[in-house]
Every structure is written in structure tokens, then in C-alpha cells.
Amino acid sequence: MQSIFLLLGLSAAISATPLGQQVPLSETEPAGQVLASRKPLSGRFLHITDFHPDRLYKPGTSIDRSCHHGVGPAGYFGAEGTDCDAPLSLVNETFRWIEDNLKDNIDFVIWTGDSARHDNDEKVPRSAEEIVQLNKFMAQKWIELFSQGQSEDTLAAVSKLSVPVIPTFGNNDIMPHNIFDEGPNKWTKRFAEIWKGFIPEDQRHTFVEGGWFTSEVVPGRLAVISLNTMYFYDSNSAVDGCNAKDEPGYEHMEWLRVQLKILRSRNMKAILMGHVPPARSSEKKNWDETCWQKYTLWMHQYRDVVVGSLYGHMNIDHFMLQDSNKVKIASDADGKASIRSKANYLESLRDQWSSLPSPPTDVFKNFDEIMSGNYNSGVTSAKKGKKHNKKDKKKRKFLDKIGGPWAERYSVSLVAPSLVPNYFPSLRVVEYNITDLENVAFGADLTSYETHTTSDDLDYTAHETFESDTSTPEVQKKKKKDKKKKPNFKVPEPPSRTAPPGPAYSNQAFSWLAYTQYFANLTQINHEVATGQRGDDPRIDFEVAYRTDDDVYQMKDLTVRSYFKLAARIAEEDEADADSHSDSRIRAADWSATDKKKPINTAWRAFLSRAFVGFEDIDDLID
């Protein structure tokens, strides 16, 4: 096995695994399959979500009647800006576009659920069979797209897929929607069949048990962990959070902890993905609090392993920061979200971000400089105290508050907007760092972490000791009080003190560098179809909505501290940075230019506009 690694290191090509050959995630065995004929990594993957295919969609019907009945403006490729689901013409054209434009340039696909229509037409209620058929249709689409060579049993043509696809349960992939009982159940069993082409063979049993699994997309280096967020979801009345040992949410978190522990011991990294994101603000709370608590703790303790996490469900493009200092907030009922309430939710995020610790000097002028590695953490710098001037002390205080120069107090979850045109149909291509992967890849010391991880049974005290590194005296006082409460679960060990920051924090192999958000302007396309400008066999083009490294977001990578910086910029008072923004920036941020454009924080404006995929008039929302 060692020689295979060596050979590969020399031949300088590692790549995404066809699923059938994926390696068991076991503690004893590193990756060891034949990797010969794979194409090299391209450093890109696709994140696509919430297709909501609907066979009943009829162009020309009423948008108030689910685009199924009546007479109305429902367009050929879908009714943009409505709650109607996606016609198959849109789904088919999206796959056609991916085939023509992305197929050969991506390493894997993150597909975050809701692959059936909504239950929004009382005249035609959904059936379990319809949900299964729609999901089969979608699975088949991926298989057709990525299968190499012919096979009769396409659902089983696993080993022939050129690109791994990783699915996950959406709250509309089951019936009744949102309600997902403990596994094994009929849904986990049924989807184990439907997703046979995507779930590695050694993970099938796990999947039937709980609806979650791991897929090693870069063997021995990178795993994608598909979470079953139905067990965390507040609206799932069949389960009750992650605290009680007999809850599937508890079991899920235990499984996740063990997976991350194993990945750490193998010196591997992990991307987490799921359908319902861990939104938690004064306006919206998606997960049971006990699940959020564990998730945030796991993300923090395994911050050397987790590359990032990706979700769908909410249909709006945004991100959230999980604060490992666990601010206590009021929870809120989960209602059906109108655009206004979604805007309120986005504003509540902005409110949260406005209380992020702020850097001492002029806001963000010297942010990168302050954030640069020139920083002595806690103990060391206290000893050298006198040598530092006042400015340095302020810097240190700020950095201490955010968990050091890499902002390790926080973790980030990204939410991609939907393919179903609640606004415009959208998809995302994420670029990640593959520099030096060839060299580093197989020379890693697989035992380097094991010397530090001797016991799994850490108690809360150990965890608190670690956390006190980054907290203020007030927080520490409060923590002392909390210390008495010991948790009924194993608290994961933090990274070894000598471990370098993980790929979510400092740019290295597998770090996300940027993404390009694409959208299809259905208003224009439907109009052109209706007026015959797109011919008899109309097609869809996706175009670039924005890139994270553009003039507005200015993110030099997608590390947590880049998101921290963006969040803080979004939260800034209006106009605070006005003169630093050129006209072109304002134009780029403003997709729906109107005369009454108010002078307003450009980053906030862009964030809002992008949340609604450029569809909504941002001035109306801001007023």
C-alpha cells in the first residue's frame, strides 16, 4: 500500500474517486484502492440545491394555483419569483447546461436535497410514490450526466460515474413533509436504493440506520459528510433534539463526532453538508437548540478537520457564523417565510454581526495587517507584556476576542440559493486550493494526531480549560458557574496545541478560495421563448451573478476570517465606508437600479440583493 502512495505522489495526479471504488472509513485502513486512471483534480466542485421538480407544472397557468391550473403568467421554464415548483424543462436544461459547461471541470457535486415538488396543491396531494419517482428521476439525471460508458441498470452504474455526487434528505423528500422518524424506516430503505449510485457500499448500512453517510471524494484526503438534518430540524415533530440518548439526533451527533475523530487520526479533511442549515437568530431558528449547541461545539473542536459546511433549504443566498462562545438568544417560531420576513431574518443576522468584536483601528483599514500572523497568543504575549506598546495590546485584545489571528472562535455555514425559481434559478461553483496536493497528499504522517488523542472521555472541564484561552474575564466567570453542569455526552478533543490552523482558517490544501454564483434570468428567457426568439427547442443559459472576490465582497479566500470581515463590513453603519467605494462597486452591487437609490452600505446592499438572486428590488426592502 505504501508503494501505491509513493507512486502517486510522484506521478502527481490525485483525483476524485468514482464512487464504486470508495474506501471504507475505518480506523485501521487508510485509502488503498487502485487510483490509476483518474483525471487530475480541477479544484472546483458544484453545489446545487432545491430543484423541486414538478411534473404537473403547466406553462400558462395561474401562479396562485401552484402553476398547475387556471390561466395565468406561468412561464415556459418556470414562474420566477413565485412559490411554484420547477417544470421538468428547467431541470433538463439545467443538466444540459452543466453538461456543456461544468461536467469536465468539477471534482464532485454537493446536492443538498428537496428533489420533489412541494405539497402545495390540495387538489393534487402528493403521494409517496410520486416523491420516490421524482427522486429517481433526479438520481437518473446525475447518472446519465456522469456515467462513463453504457450500463442497463443505470441506478447501479456506480463504478462508472466520473464524478462523485453526494445527496442528502430534504424536508420535502419525505411524507408528510418535515416528519422523519427514527431509522431504519421506509424512507431510509427506499433512498438506499434510489441513491445506490452515490452512497459508498460500506456506508449503506449506516445510511439505512440513520439516513447519513460519508463519501471519500478524494481518497485518503477529503471526505464529504452527508448529514441528515431532519433529525436536527425543529419542525420535525417525530423527534426531539440531540440531548436524549434515545433520540436519532443524539445518535447522529455521536456518529459525526466519531467520523471527525477518525478523519483527524487519518490526517484527512471533511466538508459537511445537509439540507436545513443551522440558522439561529432572533428572527429564525431552524434547528433544535441542543443540536445547534453540539454542532457548534463539534465544529470548534474539529476546526483542524472541517473545511466548511454547505446547506440549502432556505432558497436565499447567505451565510451564518456559529459562535463557539454560544450567545444565548431568544428562539422564535418557524413560520412560512415571506420575502419581508426573509429580509427581517437577514437584518437579524446583520444585527448579530454588528456586535462582532471590532478591530481597534479605523474599521478594517488595517484589518488584514491586524489579522496577519504577527501575533503572539495569550500566555506568551502576557509574559512579554512590557515590550508591547499600547497599540499592540489593543490588537491582542481584539484577536483574543475572536479566537486568535484565524478567528477560530467562529465557524461558518454557507447557504446556497435554490434551483427552483423562488427568485431566479441558481447554482454555485466553489473553487478550492489544490496547490501541493500531489506532494503533500500521500506523505502525510497518519499517526501525528494520535499521540495527542489518548482519551475520548473528556469532560466539560477540559473543554472549558481550552476555551478560556479566548474569553474575557466576564465570560470566564460565567463559565465557572456553568462548569458544574457536566454534559451527558463525550466532548470532542480540540486539535493538538501544535496543530496548524485547519483549511477553514488558513489557506492551504482544500481551503475554499472563491465561488462563482450563476443564475438564469427567467424573466428574459421566458419572454424570449414566448416571442419565438429562442426557436422551437429553447435553451437556458446561466450567467455569472457574482464572484466572492469581486469588487464588492473583496474576499481573498473563503476562510472564516474572510467571512468574519465580510460580516463585519455588512454590519457597519450605512455610509461608514462610503467614500472607499467606487461607482462601479455600487453598480455591481445593485442589480435592480432605481432612481431612489439611497446612500447605503455597499456590502449590505449587495448581500441583500444577492440573497434574492438579483430578483427583488432592494430599495423596497431597505425602505
Ligand X SMILES: *[C@@H]1O[C@H](CO)[C@@H](O)[C@H](O)[C@H]1NC(C)=O
Given the rule CB under 6 A, which residues bind ligand X?
A: 88-89, 92, 433, 435-436, 507-509, 513, 521, 523-524, 591, 614
Between 273 and 588, name the residue whose CB sits nearer to ligand X. Answer: 588
Phi, psi of 110 (to 5 degrees): -100, 115
Question: Using an 8 Å Cβ cutoff, are 548 and 558 in contact?
Answer: yes
Q: Which residues of 49-87 are buried (b: 16+ CB within 10 A; e: fewer)?
A: bbbbbbebbbbebbbebbbbeeebebbbbbbbbbbbbbb
Instruction: Label each residue of 551-619 as H, E or C.
Output: CCCCCCCCCHHHHHHHHHHHHCCCCCCHHHCCHHHHHHHCCCCCCCCCCCCHHHHHHHHHHCCCCCCHH
In this complex, which beta carbon is closest to ligand X, that of residue 208 or of residue 545? 545
With residue 428 as reference, give the H or E element that holds it. strand 426-432
Q: Which residue, 319 or 432, has its beta carbon nearer to ligand X?
A: 432
- Cβ proximity to ligand X: between 142 and 231 the closer is 142
Nearest CB to ligand X, comparing residues 132 and 513: 513
Q: Which residue has the cell 474599521?
A: 363
For residue 220, is it left (φ>0), alpha (ψ between -120 and 50) or beta? Answer: left
User: Which of the 8 DSSP states describes residue 308?
Assistant: E
Q: Shortest gap between Cβ of 541 and ligand X (angstroms)?
A: 12
Sequence-ordered list of residues with C-beta below 8 angstroms from that of 343, at least 6 positions apart, any chain: 608, 621
Least distance between ligand X and beta carbon 355 (Å)? 31
Q: Is 491 strand, coil or helix? A: coil
Q: How far apart are the first and last CA of the chain?
A: 63
When the beta carbons of 434 and 491 are compared against ligand X, the nearer one is: 434
CA-CA distance, 371 to 343, in Å (whole number)? 31
CA 22 – CA 213 distance, rounded (Å):
12
* Nearest alpha carbon to residue 98 among 44, 136, 134: 44
Q: How far is the CB of 251 from ligand X (least distance, A)?
A: 36
Q: Report the alpha-carbon distance of residue 35 to residue 504 in Å, rounded.
A: 27
Of the pair 121, 549, the CB lying nearest ligand X is at: 549
Q: How far is the CB of 38 from ligand X (least distance, A)?
A: 21
Minimum gap (Å) between residue 95 Cβ and ligand X: 8
Q: Between 187 and 510, name the residue whose CB sits nearer to ligand X.
A: 510
Q: How far is the CB of 145 from ligand X (least distance, A)?
A: 10
Closest approach, Cβ 321 to ligand X, in A, equals 22
Collapsed DSSP state (helix, strand, coil) of residue 176: coil
The sheet carrying 269-273 orders its strands as 213-218, 222-226, 269-273, 306-311, 410-415, 318-323
Nearer to ligand X, 424 or 449 (CB): 424
Residue 80 CB, nearest distance to ligand X (Å)?
9
| Least distance from ligand X to the Cβ atom of residue 59, Å | 10
